[in-house]
């Protein structure tokens, strides 16, 4: 028994000795491997040559047919300057806001990285950046702007290699000549001349602080595109300079108060769809997350929804429509395909060279009566009115808020019918009294709910004046709202970019149109059928009906300072706005310019598209009604009847008089032909 135990212990000791020997070997091998890797890393870091800087390539923005809209040529404006020829204030401002420990770290600031991680962790969001100037330079020179761990590791390695190869001042000089300051300006010298028309060595504290704040977001902090954000960023840079002891409190306060005069951007050569091209760049950077430097010099291909032929038609219509008008009179036009949400044309103003503000997205313009179709759609949906509903057109007081408040709307130019009118007549003549009656019946909250379903996100208040478009809505929102009517109740997500590819053809982004049925097809059709009356006799757009050779629906809108026309066919929805940027009142003649722009553009844009009607879905019925009573027509009713459309189940069920003849034939012999057509109609109605 003892021998067995001894033998077992001996075997265990031998096994333990073998395992200990194996662990020592593994440990030595691991140590040697780590030493080898460290040596290799050191040798690579010290002696491996840096790659050549990335070659810049132009990014192309293409239309739906592959034609070039714009070519973004990065690096065109890149004069270089020695560090001694750059204002010390710009150097100090840049270091204060971008890399305070630049002269202390070796390329990667591990202390700053830990601090930034701790701040981000505390705020549960990315509050601070952690890239040093050297890392930023390495990224700009040698790497793409993809957000991956592999790129970050390469960035750190290249940063260390740069620190081995160049002095701190040389790295700083390279950085200040490489960094992008927006509007095609690369480097401090180019930016100084672009914004202030002076060499970089002459920059003041205030000017330096403004420039140093731009690279963090060249578009967002551009003094031309976002002056408020630019000034706020400038103050943040001044505060950083004060915290690091670069300037005194008094210098910071004086610089903050200084009125920095920014030079106007130089005029660009005439190019196609400039407002749309800027919009595409904006959503590519802000919505798709594409780095702005990559946008300008990464050789991307951006395919869009725009049709250059349709765009030229839009620009021609605007030019003709504003001919002879005051130079300050502005306009906006946005055209979209209601079937898929594609933007087909965009004109953001009268002259992009003079003013780059895109009025298509202006959120300060009242839509006026062009908002009424949304009111009527809400009322039709909840069955509070129909095409046969009648209200009296005359000055009227409306009580709301529990009868504590009074609203006194009036018709344009004080014109009233002074009798009861139906919905079609109210739409055609743009009667305000009828619209307010409707919103009081339907409920303002339901109208707001309808606006939200149609895609309008602008602030709206549940008050009677909402019916008359008194709350600002952008042309962009109005175009997409009416697209739901044009698309049979389907709301399509707005799309401008369909595909983004890098220089090697790799797909970085591809759109997937999203469509949602938000209205009953029958409701969309009935609304559309009623809006066609605007182009008929007595309609506000009757004078442009001869310019149109296809079925069209739409609505005009006029306020003291805004003129609108929003209309559509099954293939194209267009919103046109005309007015002054400063809210100056428009004249009657200026207000009448919107509809002709719409009409000319629509016909020219669809010149190769055969006229097509709006298809009638299930759930729609026609009824022959007496317009004076809103009831079913009969020979006993005075005047002529008219065919009207209704959502099924909402059509009148009662006639305005007994059906059939009501007078002796001998006393109405001259009316026998009329009775003959009535018998046919009655037979058709009962069948």
- Residues 535-557 pLDDT 10s: 999 899 999 999 999 999 999 99
pLDDT digits 0-9 by tens, 279-310:
999 999 999 988 877 787 778 899 999 999 99
Please compute the mean of the pLDDT values over residues 245-254 and round it to a whole number: 93
Instruction: Indicate the SS3 state at residue 516.
Output: strand
Percentage of the chain exceeding pLDDT 90: 60
Helix 372-381 and helix 444-453: axis angle, to 10°? 100
pLDDT digits 0-9 by tens, 560-589:
999 999 999 999 999 999 999 987 899 999
The pLDDT of residue 143 is: 64
The pLDDT of residue 553 is: 97
Percentage of the chain exceeding pLDDT 70: 82
Find out whether 671 and 404 touch, Cβ atoms under 8 Å: no
The pLDDT of residue 640 is: 78
User: Above 80 in pLDDT, residue 145?
Assistant: no
Please name the residue ranges forming H helices in 298-431: 308-321, 372-381, 423-429
Instruction: Calculate Rg over the CA atoms of the chain.
Output: 35
Q: How far apart are CA 92 and CA 211, in angstroms?
A: 12
The 10 Å Cβ neighbour count of residue 472 is 16
Q: What is the mean pLDDT of the chain?
A: 85
User: Above 60 in pLDDT, residue 682?
Assistant: no
User: Above 70 in pLDDT, residue 333?
Assistant: yes
Say what the pTM is.
0.70
Residue 661 — very low, low, confident or very high, per pLDDT cuts 50/70/90? very low
User: Above 80 in pLDDT, residue 98?
Assistant: yes
User: Above 70 in pLDDT, residue 605?
Assistant: yes
Find out whether 497 and 511 touch, Cβ atoms under 8 Å: yes
* CA proximity to 380, closest of 428, 421, 427, 333: 427
The pLDDT of residue 518 is: 97
pLDDT digits 0-9 by tens, 369-404:
999 999 999 999 999 999 999 999 999 999 998 889
List Cβ neighbours of 624 (8 Å cut-off, separation of 6 or more): 632, 633, 641, 642, 643, 644, 681, 685
User: Above 60 in pLDDT, residue 70?
Assistant: yes
Residue entry with tokens 């991956």: 148
User: Above 90 in pLDDT, residue 178?
Assistant: no
User: Above 60 in pLDDT, residue 47?
Assistant: no
Q: How far apart are CA 112 and CA 128, in angstroms?
A: 10
The pLDDT of residue 394 is: 96
The pLDDT of residue 268 is: 58
Q: How far apart are CA 684 and CA 687, in angstroms?
A: 5
The pLDDT of residue 654 is: 87
Catalytically annotated residues: 98, 369
User: Above 90 in pLDDT, residue 63?
Assistant: yes
Please compute the mean of the pLDDT values over residues 500-513 and round it to a whole number: 90
Please compute the mean of the pLDDT values over residues 421-428 and round it to a whole number: 95
* CA proximity to 603, closest of 547, 540, 535: 547
Q: How far apart are CA 533 and CA 660, in angstroms?
A: 30
Find out whether 95 and 337 touch, Cβ atoms under 8 Å: no
């Amino acid at each position: 028994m003892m021998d067995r135990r001894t033998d077992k212990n001996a075997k265990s000791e031998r096994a333990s000795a073998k395992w200990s020997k194996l662990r020592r070997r593994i440990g030595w091998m691991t140590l040697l491997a780590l030493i080898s890797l460290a040596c290799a890393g050191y040798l690579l870091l010290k002696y491996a040559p840096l790659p050549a800087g990335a070659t810049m390539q132009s990014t192309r923005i293409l239309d739906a047919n592959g034609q070039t809209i714009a070519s973004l040529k990065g690096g065109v404006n890149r004069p270089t300057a020695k560090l001694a020829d750059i204002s010390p204030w710009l150097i100090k401002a840049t270091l204060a806001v971008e890399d305070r420990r630049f002269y202390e770290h070796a390329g990667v600031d591990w202390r700053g990285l830990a601090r930034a991680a701790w701040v981000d962790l505390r705020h549960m969001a990315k509050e601070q950046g952690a890239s040093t100037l050297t890392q930023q330079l390495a990224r700009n020179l040698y790497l793409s702007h993809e957000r991956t761990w592999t790129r970050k590791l390469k960035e750190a390695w290249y940063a260390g290699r740069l620190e081995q190869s160049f002095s701190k001042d040389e790295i700083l000089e390279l950085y200040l000549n490489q960094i992008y300051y927006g509007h095609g300006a690369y480097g401090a010298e180019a930016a100084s001349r672009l914004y202030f028309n002076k060499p970089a060595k002459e920059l003041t504290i205030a000017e330096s602080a403004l420039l140093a704040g731009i690279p963090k977001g060249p578009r967002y902090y551009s003094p031309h595109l976002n002056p408020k954000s630019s000034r706020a960023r400038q103050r943040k840079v001044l505060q950083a300079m004060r915290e690091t002891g670069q300037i005194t409190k008094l210098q910071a306060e004086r610089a903050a108060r200084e009125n920095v005069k920014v030079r106007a951007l130089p005029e660009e050569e005439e190019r196609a769809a400039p407002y749309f091209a800027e919009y595409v760049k904006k959503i590519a950077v802000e919505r798709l997350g594409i780095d702005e430097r990559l946008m300008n010099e990464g050789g991307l291909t951006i395919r869009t929804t725009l049709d250059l032929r349709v765009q030229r038609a839009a620009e021609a219509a605007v030019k003709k429509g504003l001919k002879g008008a005051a130079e300050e009179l502005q306009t906006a036009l946005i055209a979209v395909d209601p079937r898929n949400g594609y933007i087909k044309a965009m004109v953001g103003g009268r002259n992009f060279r003079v003013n780059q503000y895109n009025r298509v997205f202006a959120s300060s313009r009242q839509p006026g009566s062009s908002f009424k179709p949304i009111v009527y759609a809400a009322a039709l949906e909840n069955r509070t009115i129909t095409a046969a509903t009648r209200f009296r057109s005359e000055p009227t007081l409306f009580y709301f808020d529990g009868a504590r408040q009074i609203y006194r709307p009036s018709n344009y130019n004080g014109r009233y019918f002074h009798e009861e009118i139906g919905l079609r007549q109210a739409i055609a003549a743009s009667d305000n009294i009828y619209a307010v009656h409707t919103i009081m019946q339907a409920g303002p909250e339901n109208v707001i709910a309808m606006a939200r379903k149609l895609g309008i996100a602008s602030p709206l208040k549940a008050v009677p004046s909402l019916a008359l478009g008194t709350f600002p809505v952008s042309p962009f929102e109005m175009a997409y709202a009416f697209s739901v009517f044009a698309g049979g109740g389907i709301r399509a997500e707005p799309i401008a970019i369909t595909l983004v590819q890098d220089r090697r053809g790799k797909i970085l982004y591809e759109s997937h149109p999203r469509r949602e049925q938000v209205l009953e097809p029958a409701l969309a059709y009935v609304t559309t059928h009623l809006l066609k009356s605007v182009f008929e006799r007595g309609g506000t757009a009757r004078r442009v009906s001869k310019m149109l050779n296809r079925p069209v629906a739409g609505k005009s809108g006029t306020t003291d300072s805004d003129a609108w026309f929003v209309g559509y066919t099954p293939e194209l929805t267009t919103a046109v706005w005309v007015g002054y940027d400063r809210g100056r009142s428009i004249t009657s003649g200026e207000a009448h310019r919107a509809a002709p722009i719409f009409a000319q553009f629509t016909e020219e844009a669809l010149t190769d598209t055969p006229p097509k009607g709006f298809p009638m879905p299930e759930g729609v019925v026609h009824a022959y009604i007496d317009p004076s009573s809103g009831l079913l027509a009969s020979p006993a009713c005075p005047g002529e009847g008219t065919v009207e459309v209704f959502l099924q189940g909402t059509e009148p069920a009662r006639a305005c008089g007994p059906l059939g003849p009501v007078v002796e034939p001998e006393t109405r012999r001259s009316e026998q032909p009329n009775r003959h057509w009535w018998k046919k109609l009655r037979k058709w109605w009962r069948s």
